[in-house]
Amino acid sequence: MSDYHWYAAYTLPRYEKRAKLQLDKQGITNWLPLQRLRKRWSDRWKWVEEPVFRSYLFVHISEREYFQTLNSYGIVRFVAFNGQAVRIPDSQMDFLRRMLDTGYELEATELDLSPGDRVEVLTGPLAGRQGILIQRAGDKKFRIDLDFMGQSVFVTVPIENLTKELTA
Rounded CA Rg of the chain? 18
Q: Is residue 111 part of a domain?
A: no
Q: Is residue 113 part of a domain?
A: no
pTM above 0.75, yes or no: no
Residues 41 and 87 in one domain: yes
Cα distance between residue 61 and residue 70, in whole Å: 11
CATH of the domain at 129: 2.30.30.30
Per mean pLDDT, which range of 87-101, 110-124, 134-148 is the poorest?
134-148
Per-residue model confidence as pLDDT tens digits over 44-70? 898 888 888 888 899 999 999 999 999
Residues 14 and 77 in one domain: yes
Residues 22 and 83 in one domain: yes
Q: Is residue 106 part of a domain?
A: no
Q: CA-CA-CA-CA torsion for 33, 97, 93, 127, nearest 10 degrees?
A: 100
CB contact at 8 A, 114 and 133: yes
- Determine the structural domain holding residue 37 and report its residue range: 5-101
Residues 37 and 71 in one domain: yes
Residues 16 and 89 in one domain: yes
Residues 81 and 128 in one domain: no
Q: Is residue 112 part of a domain?
A: no
Q: Is the pLDDT of residue 118 over 70?
A: yes
Residues 53 and 23 in one domain: yes
Q: Which amino acid is at 98?
A: R
| pLDDT the model gives residue 168 | 45
Task: Provide mean pLDDT across the span 77-100.
Answer: 86
Considering 52-56, 70-74, 94-98, 153-157, the range whose residues carry the highest mean pLDDT is: 70-74
Cα distance between residue 81 and residue 86, in whole Å: 6
Task: Provide mean pLDDT across the span 108-123.
Answer: 69
Residues 97 and 69 in one domain: yes
Residues 92 and 38 in one domain: yes
Residues 46 and 129 in one domain: no
Per mean pLDDT, which range of 86-95, 129-138, 141-150 is the poorest?
141-150
Residues 88 and 129 in one domain: no
Q: Is the pLDDT of residue 146 over 60?
A: yes
Share of the chain above pLDDT 90, in %: 30
Cα distance between residue 1 and residue 6, in whole Å: 14
Higher pLDDT, 1 or 114: 114
Cα distance between residue 3 and residue 103, in whole Å: 32
Cα distance between residue 63 and residue 70, in whole Å: 11
Residues 55 and 124 in one domain: no
Cα distance between residue 68 and residue 151, in whole Å: 44
Q: Is residue 71 part of a domain?
A: yes
| pLDDT the model gives residue 108 | 64
**43: β partners:** none
Cα distance between residue 58 and residue 46, in whole Å: 27
Q: Is residue 127 part of a domain?
A: yes
| Mean per-residue pLDDT over the chain, rounded | 80
Q: Is residue 42 part of a domain?
A: yes
CB contact at 8 A, 117 and 144: no
